[in-house]
Amino acid sequence: MKNLVLLGPPGAGKGTVAARLVREFGFIHVSTGDMLREEVNRNTPLGQLAKGYMARGELVPDEVILSMVRQRVDAQQGVLFDGFPRTRAQAEGLERFTCVDLVIFFEVDEEEVVRRLSSRRICASCGAVYNLVTQPPKVPGKCDLCGGELIQREDDKPEVVRHRFAVYMKDSAPLVAYYQSRGLLHRVRADRSPDEVFQAIAEILRA
């Protein structure tokens, strides 16, 4: 099975489509954002180190991320990398311990990202993702899957979102050209419904 990278700005819908790709294609989900939030919640040394970077919308240092991912992945196949790699150094580091077969680039503009993230809520217990406008929970404030409390991420405040987008443009957007030059990049318009985005990616995977 192939290793897949989901690349795109914050709020592009990577996590939303990743959950469905994992369910329907059986990928192993590696989301560096989820892994870091788990470390922060458990107040581990790694979580303590990452917390400030995340709250400010800055990237956690490359060597920390690479060592965390390497421990989790270790030459497995069928891995879906969500929000990783995010810098050239991470992309090159990843190639030293596993291969990348396909990269999906989520194309969406900054205003749409800000709109989506200002109304995103996540489950404090299981991490499921909702949107008050486009994907509201059945019972307000409660997770459909586990009944957990829905909260707003600290870094989803508008001023932090704008900074995360700027960091993405500076550090992560150059990976589009990096993967394009390797013939691995597939562009997907992410300003469509979650189902349309999923179908577009499923078609690429089945080709």
Minimum Å gap between C-beta 6 and ligand AP5 is 8
Identify whether 138 is a catalytic site residue.
Answer: no
Q: At closest approach, how far in Å is the CB of 156 from ligand AP5?
A: 7
Quick one: which of 22, 28, 89, 129 contacts ligand AP5 (CB under 6 A)?
129
Q: Give 123's strand partners.
A: 150
14 included as an active-site residue: yes
Task: Mark out the alpha helices in 119-169 (DSSP H runs).
Answer: 158-167
100 backbone dihedrals φ, ψ, rounded to 5°: -110, 125
C-alpha pair distances (Å), 116 with each of 79, 104, 147, 177, 183: 26, 20, 23, 26, 30
Q: Which amino acid is at 91?
A: A
Q: Binding of ligand AP5 at residue 93 (CB under 6 A)?
A: no
Tell me which of 14, 80, 105, 123 binds ligand AP5, using CB under 6 A: 14
Q: x/- contact string, 29-58, with ligand AP5 (CB under 6 A)? A: ---xx--x----------------xx--xx
Lookup: tokens for 89:
């150094």
- Neighbouring CB atoms inside 10 A of 84's CB total 23
Four-residue CA torsion sign, 44, 129, 165, 3? positive
Regarding 152 and contact with ligand AP5 (CB under 6 A), the answer is: no
The alpha carbons of the chain give a radius of gyration, in whole angstroms, of 16
Interface with ligand AP5: number of residues (CB under 6 A) = 34
Contacting positions for ligand AP5 (CB under 6 A): 10-16, 32-33, 36, 53-54, 57-60, 65, 83-84, 86, 90, 116-117, 120, 129-131, 134-135, 155, 164, 193-194, 197
